[in-house]
Structures are given as C-alpha cells and as structure tokens.
C-alpha cells in the first residue's frame, strides 16, 4: 500500500526530525509527506523540506484542528491518509504497514494505533496511554473512539465528510462517529506503535481537557459532567496512579505530578462540560476510568525497533 502522511505542526523543530527519520526507515517507502504549518517561527519548515516533505500553509489566525487536516488531506495524492502529530515518532519500521493493513477489509474506514509516552512523561499521562491504547488489537471496535495523533482514513470517505472545522478538539471522534453511522468499521492496531511526547504545564493539561470536553459536548449533546463526577473521578484516578506508582517503585518522583495532573485533567473536563450527566457507558469508560495495568504487561514484538540517535 502507498499513503500520504499529513503532519500538523507549529514550532515543532525539537521533535519533527525524529518523526521524519522514523518515516524514512519504514518498510513502506512510497509515501507522500505533507506538513501543514500554521505559522512556525523556528526551523520546522526547513526540517520538513530537508526530508522532501511538501509544505501546506495555514494562517495561524485560521487554525483549528479540523481545518488544518482538511488543508493537508485536500493536497494529498493518495487514497490512504495517515495522520501524525509532529511530536510523535514510530517505534517500529513496520508502523505504516501495520497501520494500513486493516484497509484490506473494504468496510474499514479508519485505523489508529497504540501510543506510549517517553520515559520522562508524567506518570498519569502514561496511565492514560495504557488506558486508551491497550496491548491487544481490535479489528472492529464498538465505539467511535480514536486519535489523530496516530491514525489513517480513506480519502474517498473524507471527500464525503470533511473534518469539522468548528470543534475545539476531538475532530477525529466526530469523523469516526459519522463513519460508524454510515456502517463503516474502525480498527485499533496495537502493533502500529508511536511515542507521543507531551511535556505540558498544569495549565496546559487543564486547557487540553477543557477544550476536548467542550468538543465532546458538541459531538454528543447529551454529554455532561457535574461536580460529583469531578470529585469521584479525580480521587479514584489519583488513588489508582499512586497504587501503580508505588508498585513500580517510582512513587516518590511522581507523587506531585500525579496530584496536579489528575486535578487539572478533571477540573478542565468539568469546566468544559458545566452540566450534569455523561455519555454512553463504553465511551465514558474509555475516556475517564482508570484501567487495571499489570507490571511488565507490554508485549514484546519480534520486530527490531528503530534506533534513533
């Protein structure tokens, strides 16, 4: 299979080179790389050009997550569109191959892969990655959950339904919801693993979950989140993180970030919702609830990982 890879970026010079190097080492080499730049002032564009990427520019004043993707996909030359954040990078050289494989089934509209954090990621962020992206693939999952930091869609379907440019986030969830309503399938591919680099301040975490909650409420009008939800989910997730960190013997260095991260996560969520109930139990569980995580649970693959400098 061939594909176009759409990368959204703004001042990502610190991370972009590693992603592009990982793409260069993939088993699929016939790729069309497009960088959608929203006004970078660092060397982001120069780095992308040095790897042969095509540049699509969107004025920063016009940026939304959905609009930037629409710009990039419109310029794409291939049927299969891979989307990657500029601050991710693939773990294995068959990342693209495994991410695209489910499209052999004509019913599949969207695939997305596993995400993990780097070693320095906040412990609670790592827990969320394990919660949202389990170790077992699911060829046809029940919910519309997905994430455009590491996903792929069919351009022919995008032409029927572009990404919503009005959402403050979760444009991927809105598109996946539409795809499922049309009778298409969503495939989760655990083997298509990337490292997702987040190094946010408490305010950054608050803003991310607030805007995503605002988008979630627009996608699912019945979605609400009250003070009881905030209190219960903050406490239960903090306790879960503390227990896992203690069991892994990393509690001392993570105890502070566990408290502020989970508080900001659910405070932002509450501020984004500002009402009183939640959505379907399955999607609620995917987004919010801590999942049991076994020590050393990660499956080891036979494929040698990419060696980055």
Write the DSSP symbol of residue 124.
H
pLDDT under 50: residue ranges of the chain: 276-278
pLDDT of 278: 47
pLDDT of 76: 96
Encode pLDDT of 251-273 as tens digits: 999 999 999 999 999 999 999 98
**67 token code pair:** 């609009």
Q: Which of 45, 34, 39 is nearest to 7 (CA)?
A: 34
* Cα–Cα distance, 300 to 30 (Å, whole number): 28
* Cα–Cα distance, 10 to 40 (Å, whole number): 5
pTM of the full predicted structure? 0.90
Q: Is 38 helix (H, G, I), strand (E, B) or coil?
A: coil
Write the DSSP symbol of residue 138.
B
Query: β-strands 88-90, 54-57: how paired?
Result: unpaired
**143 token code pair:** 């919910």
pLDDT of 202: 94
- Angle between helix axes 202-219 and 171-181 (nearest 10 degrees) is 30
pLDDT of 22: 97
List all residues 6 or more positions away from 181 whose beta carbon is below 8 Å from its beta carbon: none
**264 token code pair:** 């900001």
Write the DSSP symbol of residue 303.
S
Spatial contact of 112 and 121, defined as CB atoms under 8 Å apart:
no
pLDDT of 277: 46
Encode pLDDT of 32-80 as tens digits: 999 999 999 999 999 999 999 999 999 888 888 999 999 999 999 999 9
C-alpha gyration radius of the chain: 19
Total residue count of the chain as it appears in this document: 309
pLDDT of 224: 81
């Amino acid at each position: 299979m061939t594909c176009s890879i759409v990368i959204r970026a703004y001042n990502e010079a610190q991370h972009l080179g590693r992603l592009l190097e990982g793409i260069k080492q993939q088993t699929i080499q016939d790729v069309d790389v497009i960088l959608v730049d929203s006004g970078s002032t660092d060397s982001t564009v120069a780095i992308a050009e040095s790897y042969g990427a095509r540049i699509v520019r969107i004025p920063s004043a016009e940026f939304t997550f959905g609009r930037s993707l629409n710009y990039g996909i419109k310029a794409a030359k291939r049927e299969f569109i891979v989307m990657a954040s500029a601050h991710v990078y693939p773990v294995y050289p068959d990342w693209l191959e495994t991410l695209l494989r489910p499209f052999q089934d004509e019913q599949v509209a969207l695939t997305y892969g596993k995400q993990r954090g780097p070693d320095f990621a906040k412990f609670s962020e790592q827990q969320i990655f394990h919660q949202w992206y389990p170790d077992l693939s699911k060829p046809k999952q029940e919910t519309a959950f997905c994430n455009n930091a590491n996903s792929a869609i069919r351009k022919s379907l995008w032409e029927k339904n572009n990404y919503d440019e009005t959402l403050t986030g979760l444009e991927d969830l809105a598109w996946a919801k539409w795809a499922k309503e049309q009778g298409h399938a969503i495939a989760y591919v655990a083997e298509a693993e990337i490292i997702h680099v987040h190094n946010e301040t408490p305010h950054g975490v608050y803003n991310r979950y607030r805007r995503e909650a605002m988008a979630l409420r627009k996608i699912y009008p019945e979605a609400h989140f009250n003070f009881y939800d905030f209190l219960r989910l903050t406490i239960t997730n903090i306790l879960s993180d503390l227990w896992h960190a203690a069991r892994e013997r990393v509690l001392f260095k993570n105890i502070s970030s566990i408290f502020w991260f989970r508080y900001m996560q659910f405070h932002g969520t509450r501020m984004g919702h500002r009402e009183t109930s939640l959505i379907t139990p399955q999607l609620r569980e995917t987004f919010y609830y801590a999942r049991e995580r076994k020590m050393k649970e990660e499956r080891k693959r036979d494929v040698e990982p990419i060696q980055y400098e």
